[in-house]
């Protein structure tokens, strides 16, 4: 039986999405089927790389209404459609703590289109901010958000976390535990592949 091939593509802006990709890869490599797990930034993905996968995992940072790397991957639509097992994840500062799951699921559908992402599992994780690595444009946009949050009469916990992160040079809310449902989903694919 050939070794199953798992490809993890990530569009990471400040490293949080890539960190999740590495955690997912480590956990999958420990699976009984001993899959070959390859990680690649979205920008370096090729059709051949994608088409060789038995399982495709796509991770993207959610920033300013867009998923990092989605336009690049849309050009790889046919290759992605050739992979029967596809899973998606997003990483944003607040994840599903603030955004409804349905909202983030819609971002995945809008970014990758229904034929690629429709009826496919999507997972959503919290990331963080790294002020020293942030682009001037992103800092400027977040300054406006921070000001708006500070002016809110009733700030929620996540408003306060963003304000605090901005003022303290950043924050990291990543948590490896959040990847367990995604890993379990992929492990179920690997078990099916091994049985076929």
Tens digit of each residue's pLDDT (9 = 90 or more) over 45-54: 999 999 999 9
Please, which pLDDT band fits residue 57 given cuts at 50, 70 and 90? very high
**Would the pLDDT of 59 be above 90?**
yes
Classify 129 as helix, strand or coil: strand
**Would the pLDDT of 72 be above 90?**
yes
**Would the pLDDT of 13 be above 80?**
yes
**Overall average pLDDT of the 17-25 stretch:** 98
Give the predicted TM-score (pTM) of the model.
0.90
**Would the pLDDT of 1 be above 80?**
no
| 5-127+173-195: CATH topology | Rossmann fold (3.40.50)
């Amino acid at each position: 039986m050939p070794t199953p091939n798992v490809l993890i593509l990530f569009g990471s802006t400040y490293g949080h999405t890539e960190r999740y990709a590495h955690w997912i890869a480590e956990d999958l490599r420990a699976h009984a089927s001993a899959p070959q797990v390859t990680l690649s930034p979205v920008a370096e993905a090729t059709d051949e790389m994608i088409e060789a996968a038995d399982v495709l995992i796509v991770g993207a940072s959610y920033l300013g209404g867009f998923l990092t790397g989605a336009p690049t991957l849309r050009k790889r639509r046919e290759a992605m459609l050739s992979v029967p097992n596809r899973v998606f994840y997003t990483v944003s500062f607040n994840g599903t703590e603030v955004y409804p799951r349905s909202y983030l699921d819609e971002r995945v559908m809008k970014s990758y289109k229904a034929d690629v992402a429709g009826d496919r599992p999507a997972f959503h994780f919290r990331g963080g901010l790294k002020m020293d690595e942030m682009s001037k444009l992103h800092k400027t946009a977040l300054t406006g958000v921070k000001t708006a949050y500070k002016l809110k009469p009733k700030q929620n916990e996540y408003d306060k976390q963003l304000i605090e992160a901005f003022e303290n040079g950043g924050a990291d809310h990543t948590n490896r535990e959040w990847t367990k449902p995604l890993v379990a989903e992929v492990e179920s694919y690997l078990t099916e592949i091994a049985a076929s």
